[in-house]
Amino acid sequence: MSGGVEPETPPGSSSGGSTPVGGKPPRHHLTSIRHCASSARIAAASAEFELDSGTLSLISPTDIRPGFLPVFRSGSFADIGPKSYMEDEHLCVDNLIEHLGVRGPGIPAPGAFYGVFDGHGGTDAACFVRKNILKYITEDCHFPNSIEMAIRSAFVKADHAIADSHSLDRNSGTTALTVLIFGRKMLVANAGDCRAVLGKRGRAVELSRDHKPNCKVERLRIENLGGTVFDGYLNGQLSVARGDW
């Protein structure tokens, strides 16, 4: 599953960037993005749920002309692969204010939200997170004053809701990779092995870190709960960690 998003220049305006000619291997440093002030940091959401999150400045204040706001466009593509049915979900919200139906205090423009949810063991978990994760973020008590805290809380809430639900298949699970564009900030959060990549002037820059069972902290958490990690696989079967291990 893959997707892309780019700001659209309104009629009469010109785009200041050049068109990428070809992709290059992902780089591990956000400093390769020119004219962007970035501050990516990885933090644990809580003792029971590890979440990678980062913040990236999209453009500097001097790059915005008075009265000019970018409009976002997105595209997505999903491939079922060798499976007999699709277990993955994705979400594209190009206009966050329009989607929420109101622009409250502290909610800047432009705003957009994108997510990829790679399910396993059925479709229940991926569908549930796709339908609820944005609502959990915007209804959190930390929103919009502390966006990073709201996102962490939303991930934990979604994890607990799936675990406590009696209507969802308990064998079903999902990764979650979200990107929230909030004014001049882009916040990336990841639980699982999906990956966010920024295309900039022919370069591919990784914005997320894979969250796998063989990560040291995650492996210790799994083993403390009675699970095992063998050759990078949870209990020798699953390549991503689960909240119940």
Q: What span, in angstroms and rounded, lies between the C-alpha atoms of 232 and 214?
A: 5
104 and 194 fall within a common domain = yes
The secondary structure of 204-243 as a DSSP string is EEE-S----TTSHHHHHHHHHTT--EETTEETTTBSS--T
169 and 219 fall within a common domain = no
Q: Give the chain's domain count.
A: 2
73 and 165 fall within a common domain = yes
152 and 235 fall within a common domain = no
75 and 129 fall within a common domain = yes
155 and 56 fall within a common domain = yes
130 and 232 fall within a common domain = no
Q: Would you call 120 helix, strand, or coil by DSSP?
A: strand
Say what the pLDDT of residue 242 is. Answer: 67
Helix 147-164 to helix 124-138 angle, to the nearest 10 degrees?
140
Residues 201-234 pLDDT 10s: 999 999 998 887 877 888 888 888 888 888 777 7
- Token representation of residue 38: 């970035």
216 and 109 fall within a common domain = no
Residue 55 is part of which domain span?
2-209
Q: What span, in angstroms and rounded, lies between the C-alpha atoms of 12 and 9?
A: 8
168 and 232 fall within a common domain = no
Phi then psi for residue 164, to 5 deg, are: -90, -10
172: domain CATH number is 3.60.40
Mean pLDDT for the chain overall: 78
Q: Is the predicted pLDDT of residue 21 greater than 80, yes or no?
A: no
29: exposed, middle or buried (C-beta count within 10 Å: 0-12, 13-18, 19+)? exposed
Say what the pLDDT of residue 67 is. Answer: 67
Q: Is the predicted pLDDT of residue 160 greater than 60, yes or no?
A: yes
71 and 84 fall within a common domain = yes
User: Do the bridges between strand 52-57 and strand 38-39 make them parallel or antiparallel, or are there none, so unpaired?
Assistant: antiparallel
47 and 152 fall within a common domain = yes
Say what the pLDDT of residue 230 is. Answer: 81
Residue in this structure with the two tokens 């969250």, named with its chain if needed:
211
185 and 228 fall within a common domain = no
Q: What span, in angstroms and rounded, lies between the C-alpha atoms of 124 and 120?
A: 9
Q: Is the predicted pLDDT of residue 187 greater than 90, yes or no?
A: yes
